[in-house]
Amino acid sequence: MACFMQIEKLKKKLYFEGYMYVRDSERNEKTYWRCEFKKTCKGRAHTMISAIDGDEVYTRGEHSHQPDARRKEVIGASNLLRKSARETLNPTSHIVQDIMNSVTLETAAILPSTSLMKRTVLREKQEQIASSNIE
Ligand SMILES: [Zn+2]
């Protein structure tokens, strides 16, 4: 089942069965994804453009490497980061620290850098403020 993540604006990722994919293109109402190791791996997938977490993923091509289940925890942590940024008033550094504390050491090693996570939190907070001003 699909599991989506967006840590950097416009860089949406897809996690599926131990593999992480980056968005490649969109056409005919489908999103085409390539394995994150696209230089050395032929793993491909597509979903419907409207797909949400839990929806069907169609894969094609063999991966040249083993699946890595830590990637799933990275996605969970990244999504929690954005949710905390939007729904709490905690300081940015606390939010990032909470995320670091919530994952295993193995997963912390492959999380985005703390400076990137802080930028994500700040952006989410700004967007939250902007959208509440419209209402
Ligand atoms: Zn691959």
Tokens representing 97 are 């620290």
**pLDDT the model gives residue 79:** 87
CA–centroid distance, residue 44 to ligand 1 (Å): 8
CA distance 43 to 33: 9
Centre of ligand 1 to C-alpha 22, Å, is 11
CA 92 to ligand 1 centroid distance, Å: 33
- What is the mean pLDDT for each group of 10 consecutive residues in the chain (135 residues)? 72 90 94 95 96 93 94 88 93 96 91 93 90 74
| Domains of the chain, each with CATH number or no CATH | 3-60 (2.20.25.240), 70-134 (no CATH)
The structure's pTM equals: 0.73
pLDDT value at residue 32: 97
The predicted pLDDT at position 101 comes to: 93
* pLDDT at residue 8, as a whole number: 60
Name the DSSP letter for residue 110.
T
